[in-house]
Amino acid sequence: MKIVVLDGYALNPGDLSWEGIEKLGDCTVYNRTLPELTVERAKNADAVTTNKVVFDRKLISELPKLKYIGVLATGFNVVDVVAAKEAGIVVTNIPTYSTDSVAQMVFSHILNFAQNVSVHANSVSRGDWIKSIDFSYWKTPQIELVGKTMGIIGFGQIGQAVAKIGLAFGMKIIFNNRSKKETDLDANQVELNELLSESDFISINCPLTNENSGFINKNTIEKMKSTAFLVNTGRGLLINEQDLADALNSEKIAGAGLDVLSLEPATENNPLPKAKNCFITPHIAWATIEARARLMNIATQNIKAFLDGNPQNVVS
């Protein structure tokens, strides 16, 4: 069994081990693979793993030996699963490995808006407190989360994990979901317009579909409070980025915390990195070492299950 890891660096920049996968066959690991190198590297492989390397119909047709594609992520839009199925190729993904880490990142952004710890720590490091005539000062308004309304768009596992943290902070939780969602949590399902108008903090945790692409735009932003903060750890294309930048710069909303953009890495013409009170992290909500270790373990088990004739987490 020849296994080729095409872009392993994101999962394992050196702090994890490929040993589990290496025990399953003749394994070659590449940190990154450019599109023009994919066929050469994968042409003799029985199994490949990919994170961002795209497997479209044309590429799949050029790899007749390939029997298995393991996507090293939950989203599997990098693979044409219809073409893969037609070619007899099993495609698997990695579900639910990063739920807690993503929920934690949502609140990292929320707490940044609430108290701006780094702003104040940097101020102290510059000597501002030494020079202060008062025992206490603050550079930004300090916000208490208790009693604030948090609106969660998408109430799957991550959305519910976000809700649990919000409840622990004493927040009121409302959510919007594309289907009716029963929950034991102290959270109420509402229509999107109500969520937008009532929320002090809005967390986007829904998957990207053809129907909701760009649904955060000028029209929906106008429904938000001017004091509202928007957090997106879902997909960048859920937001019309120019509309959000315009809203931030004109203070139509108070701030945005984003872990995803429409194109990644960020491009120079993206208006959001320079927008007012916009804080962007480089798609790292999934990347805690604990979450990546879970991902590695599930990826290994996916390949093993395929080899044993009982594939799991199949999406093709």
For residue 131, what are its two tokens?
């020079």
- 122 is in which domain, residue-wise? 99-280
- Let me know whether 53 and 143 are in one domain: no
- Report how far apart, in Å, the C-alpha atoms of 305 and of each of 46, 72, 222, 252, 311 are: 14, 15, 49, 51, 5
pLDDT at residue 22, rounded to an integer: 98
Exactly one of 41, 120, 178, 283 is catalytic; which is it? 283
Which residues of the chain carry a pLDDT beneath 70?
A: none
The answer to whether residue 314 sits within a structural domain is no
- Let me know whether 78 and 131 are in one domain: no
Express the helix, strand and coil content of the chain in percent, nearest 5 each: 35, 15, 50
- Let me know whether 157 and 178 are in one domain: yes
**In terms of Cα–Cα distance, which of 6, 23, 3, 25 is closest to 73?**
6
- Let me know whether 124 and 12 are in one domain: no
The answer to whether residue 178 sits within a structural domain is yes
- Let me know whether 105 and 242 are in one domain: yes
- Let me know whether 161 and 227 are in one domain: yes
Interior angle at CA 95, CA 201 and CA 163, nearest 5: 25
Exactly one of 235, 241, 292, 294 is catalytic; which is it? 235
- Let me know whether 189 and 214 are in one domain: yes
Mean pLDDT over the full length of the chain: 97
The answer to whether residue 313 sits within a structural domain is no
- Let me know whether 114 and 201 are in one domain: yes
For residue 253, the Cα-to-chain-centroid distance in whole angstroms is 22
Exactly one of 191, 222, 251, 264 is catalytic; which is it? 264
- Let me know whether 117 and 158 are in one domain: yes
pLDDT at residue 208, rounded to an integer: 92
Whether residue 154 contacts residue 161, with contact meaning beta carbons closer than 8 Å, is answered with no
Domain holding 178: CATH number?
3.40.50.720
| pLDDT tens by residue, 53-98 | 999 999 999 999 999 999 999 989 999 999 999 999 999 999 999 9
- Helices vs. strands in the chain: H and E counts, helices first: 12, 12
- Let me know whether 144 and 46 are in one domain: no
Based on the residue annotation, tell me whether 211 is a catalytic residue of this protein: no
Based on the residue annotation, tell me whether 235 is a catalytic residue of this protein: yes
Whether residue 67 contacts residue 89, with contact meaning beta carbons closer than 8 Å, is answered with yes
Q: CA 82, CA 168: separation in Å to the nearest integer?
A: 43
Percent of the chain with pLDDT over 70: 100
Q: List, in sequence order, every residue forming a beta bridge with 279; answer none if it has no partner.
A: 257
- Let me know whether 221 and 269 are in one domain: yes
Domain count, the chain: 2
The answer to whether residue 125 sits within a structural domain is yes
The answer to whether residue 188 sits within a structural domain is yes
- Let me know whether 63 and 77 are in one domain: yes
